[in-house]
Amino acid sequence: MSARPLLLIVLGLVAGVAAWFWQPWQEGGRKRLFAMVEASQAASDGGLSASAVISDAKGGLEADIVVRDLSLPWDLAFLGDSEILVTEKGGSLWRIDLGSGERRKITGTPDVRVQGQGGLHAVLLHPKFSDNGLIYLSYAAAGEDGKGAVTHFMRARLDGTRLTEQKLLLRTKAPGDRGQHFGGAMVFDRDGYLFVSVGERGYRDDAQKLSSHNGKILRLHDDGSVPKDNPLVDTPGALPEIWSYGHRNPQGLALDPVSGRIYEAEHGPQGGDEINVIERGRNYGWPVITYGREYGTGIRIGEGTTRPDIVPPLHYYVPSIATAGIAYYAGDAFPQWKNSLFVAALRGHLNRVQLNPDGTFAKEERLLSDRDLRIRAVRVSPKGALFVVADDGVILQVSAKP
């Protein structure tokens, strides 16, 4: 065979493989490929012991769709027992009555730049929302130079179906020309400090640079000002908002109201998703210390999985489950699940991590895998029911069977 036909055949094969690899996730191409590679990785790394995982535990549960026909919903917050705020990645914020089904669009939302994984992300109520009506939003918008997209955090007052008194709390200092790893999770601690997350935006080494917000958990006052006792306030060259660093894409933050611990769900690469307990001023390793590997090739990232100065994860996932949002459960609807973390898994289930009384990992359980949903967020209602947000455009309520 001459060189020209052979070259055409090779180019055709390459184009076919590329088309198969980049087809939408739902069609299963990338999912099958990553599953095969990660199965090999799990075997070589030891993976998760069978005793630590209970797969597809469904007994005693009902999962009912309570909201449909959303466009890439990202997060929700409860205004009361039967009313929620819901964000859509494209920039819409909705006020939805779960009883009547009425949905009203909120005006006064920020200008969002949808770029790759970026858009309108989390919504959070102020701890004293019933008194002050304040809510918080995280979103992607243009950087200081008007180019690209960086993670922003804002506060506003909710007045019926409009936002007023909008205030930009923070435009992160980070390169903005890439479309991945925006973070955007938010949570208040017991003392009223606001913790927010920023992904490393695909610039891995930035997670270790204290001059960048990329790959960090930040701590702010509720008005966006910097607490004077933040760990790096007096460190030359370091950004004062930083609370912890060495994170890849922290997409979930949750508070244990009893112990005061803040838990983080971190989306790793191929393998290496993590659940972390966030500590003051500590380094969480990315991209130097990680269980993750390169997509497709399976080549190890970094120099190892442990180092004395790096905080190890509370729990890690090999193979990856594609962690997203996280919630701590202290409700009464499922007393057997108290002291558990619920983790949204974009790979199609709701992950429950049972904690020991001292906060260490005990076991995990995988729920709702029969629904085949890309689960983006999980929240606990005032009555202790679980609400699950899925990229598929639905919100489900998970409750006990009568």
181 annotated active-site? yes
CA dihedral 133, 134, 136, 142 (to 10 degrees): 110
181, 267, 315, 349: which one is catalytic?
Answer: 181
Give Cβ neighbours of residue 183 (< 8 Å, ≥ 6 apart).
138, 151, 196, 197, 198, 199, 247, 249, 250, 251
- In this structure, the number of other CB atoms found within 10 A of the CB of residue 17 comes to 12
Contact (CB, 8 A) for 311 and 268 = no
Q: Where are the alpha helices (DSSP H) in 122-275?
A: 129-132
Question: What is the spatial distance between Cα 261 and Cα 295, in angstroms, rounded to a whole number?
Answer: 32
Cα 331 to Cα 384: distance, rounded to the nearest angstrom:
4
Evaluate whether 319 touches 42 at the Cβ level (below 8 Å): yes
Q: Is 42 exposed, middle or buried (0-12, 13-18, 19+ CB in 10 A)?
A: middle
Q: Which residues contact 267 (CB under 8 A, 6 or more apart)?
A: 181, 199, 248, 249, 250, 251, 273, 322, 323, 324
- Residues 305 and 323: their CA atoms lie apart, in Å, by 19
Q: Quick one: which H or E segment has residue 20?
A: helix 3-21
Q: Which residues are catalytic?
A: 181
